[in-house]
Structure 1
């Protein structure tokens, strides 16, 4: 009887280990399943960024907007159906989120090189975000892999959970806290705005009405964004908008943050976010290191693993089989 109990215990431990091993994310997840998967993703991302530098910011943003809505599960990529109200139609994504065709191409190339759909769309988003940063001059990091894809999306949750460009600091802190992210994560991840552009309607109120803004910067920005109309006109989020550097933080110290939610991180006092903004503005190594750590942390939000979810054959559609 005692030996039977010991046997049962061993079986239990083996099963527990197996579930843990296949449920945990790992940077080596595809090493044996499809070792050419990550090089293939890198190749497609580099080509897309070479063709259009702005695409790097767009792919990074897709991963961020995916993770903040029910976790990093590629729900953002799903098109609308009779049962899915696509997150692409949310206020933060409609006529704004872009790069979906690059993700489609990555999926096609990866599935071809692997011989079948073994790489999830959620993992593709995470790796493409990293490779975009590297392609634009940023440092690399080990992406944790093994996510699976959701079978549903929610425009309602996207509207509720994605941070607004009009948020103040308490609102941003609370928004990130709901995702398990702290103030250091908030400032570091906001540094992703060293890349890309914003549409006029997202910063119009700031450049005409805010007082914590450099006067000349506001005047210059008004050339791109008049008081009415031209809502989709683009302005760079920082002067070196296609290079991953610390200019974003240097701008905040000079009160040249384009979005209200960006300048909210720096008030000119001694608050924790003020100190981080100052530190990152002159210490590129600290920013790169903290950004990488926060990207990994964000990439772990509510992931699906093991037998949860599915590996989609088409990132825009749920598998029906």
Structure 2
């Protein structure tokens, strides 16, 4: 008989035997009616199973778990660090914004103060320059020349064949300053008037002309004789009686020791008759000007 058939026969025998035992255990005994009926089938008790693994695999698994835990710890630490860094960056950005605002305010205030300082410095320099200029002008005014012309007499010459007379105002030019006057000259205007007309006269706009008389140098306190004359159409008898007269306006021009062109006060006056002396005199009006520097 082949081996396979023997194996099948043995298996069937075991199955039948096991089945019979199970039926006997399942039927209760007749002489024991009060005993508790046993379960139809019984199961074997469980027993612990221990899985034995290779030591190298266990070490590898433990290392893997430790590495996984370490990675988790490192990931948590990295996330915490990133959170801390983000908060720090936000705080730094806020501080930078505040510092930028403060810096802008301070720069604005500093700029305003700088402009104020520059303005005050400019004002101080201007005041200093003005003070120096005033001091210089005062110093020059104290030492420069001051020439004046004092008329002593008025002469009327006889008429010529055309009925003209020569009017001559004679006097002295004196330098009352402390330094010389250079290139001294006169600008005059002589007009005929009716009677003895007096009043305040300003030479602006009048037909003044240069006499052509010029003194090269007039030292301090020096006096020189000078005359201003002009040929005029007039009746000499009416002039001598005071019915007609002549009006003179003159200005002295000169250069001071500082090389600046100067003019003396404007002097105007009219001829008249001195009843006591019985002669023609010059009667000046109010002085209307002062020594000025020419442009």
- The normalised TM-score by structure 2 is 0.25
* Structure having the larger proportion of residues in strand: 2
More helix by share: 1
CA radius of gyration, larger in: 2
